[in-house]
Amino acid sequence: MTKFVFRLLTLAMLTLTLTAAPVMSVVYAAPDNDPPPPKDKKKKSSEMHPSTQETVFASEYRTAYSAIYDRHDYTAAIAQLKALGRDDSAAVANLIGYSYRQLGDYKVSQVWYERALKADPNHVKTWQYYGLWQVEQGNRESAQYHLNKIAALAGTSSEEYRSLAAALEKAPGTGLVY
């Protein structure tokens, strides 16, 4: 019964948000494996090929991404991501936060998640990962807030929404790490 009421309230809040807001366009986050775009560079139509610097950055970003998701070498990934000099990017800061969370350093992880959201308040992957951080810390109400934010940004059928919703459905204190 409680789950039903909780879901009904969530649906009501989402409906109110969508109907009360002026015409909005849905914002989708770029997948985490895509490096963030270069800062403050507007390309002329004659500059359609990426610069060497952009290509190197993308390659190094993907190397760090692979260290995280393929090899689970979070310490190396943190060093690689920081070496990019772009930790003011939401995508980079989020992956640093995720890596610290996987290493069990929750305080430092929180700092990086908040830094990512400061850089881009609409970065859906950060809302998901920070929401999972909240679940792991036992902050279920905060995690629910994150879930509602994801619903507003990417919809309830997004992978980020489904992942955090599944974590919230598990009983508190199960000790599972996401």
- Residues of 141-172 as b/e, b for ≥16 C-beta within 10 angstroms? eebbebbbbbbbbbeeebebbebbbebbeeee
> Length of the chain, please?
178
96 touches 82 (CB < 8 A)? yes
What per-residue confidence (pLDDT) applies to 23? 37
For 36-75, write each residue's pLDDT tens digit.
655 554 555 445 566 787 888 899 999 999 999 999 999 9
pTM for this prediction? 0.72
In the structure, what pLDDT confidence band is assigned to residue 10 with cuts at 50, 70 and 90?
low
Joined together, the tokens standing for residue 156 give 């309830």
